[in-house]
Amino acid sequence: MEHKAVELKERTKSFALRIIRLVRALPASSEGYVMGNQLLRSGTSVAANYRAVCRARSRAEFLAKLGIVIEEADESEFWLEMLSESGLIPEKRLRDLKSEASQLVAILNASRTTAKKGVHSTITNQKSTIITKKAS
């Protein structure tokens, strides 16, 4: 597997674990439960679905799965903003996690843009390497 993919796999897993720890610390209120549940689902989905991206069998599958990861990372960023703006968690405590969510969205969007161009993009997974070229 390509070094960047391995690094992102670890980074998304670390993000998911940080989300889990944050959700455990939320207040036991209806708002905390609802927002925590939404954040837990989207934040852990980032890592789980990125693993699926790494196993894509075609460029189309890669792009589709990557789109899901981007949506989940963006949704996680939204719920982090909601936790902060609602006053459930102080902004200072969420700053690094919000920054990580934003960075993941930017990195994954850049990957999708590159893959959509299809110019000699390489998709590497544990079973095979798929090299695609833009159709002329």
Task: List the CATH number of the domain containing 56.
Answer: 1.20.1440.60
d(CA 110, CA 87): 32
The end-to-end CA distance of the chain, in Å, is 28
Write down the mean pLDDT value for the chain.
87
18 part of a folded domain: yes
Residue type, 62: F
128 part of a folded domain: no
pLDDT band, residue 36 (cuts 50/70/90)? very high
Residue 105 and residue 74 in contact, taking contact as beta carbons nearer than 8 Å? yes
Range of the domain at 98: 3-116
DSSP state of 133: -
**What domain count does the chain have?**
1
Residue 30 has pLDDT above 90, yes or no: yes
What is the mean predicted confidence (pLDDT) over 117-121?
Answer: 59
Predicted local confidence at residue 94, as pLDDT:
95
Rg of the chain in Å (alpha carbons): 16
Predicted local confidence at residue 130, as pLDDT:
44
Tell me: the pLDDT tens digits for 54-99?
A: 999 998 899 999 999 999 999 999 999 999 999 999 999 999 999 9
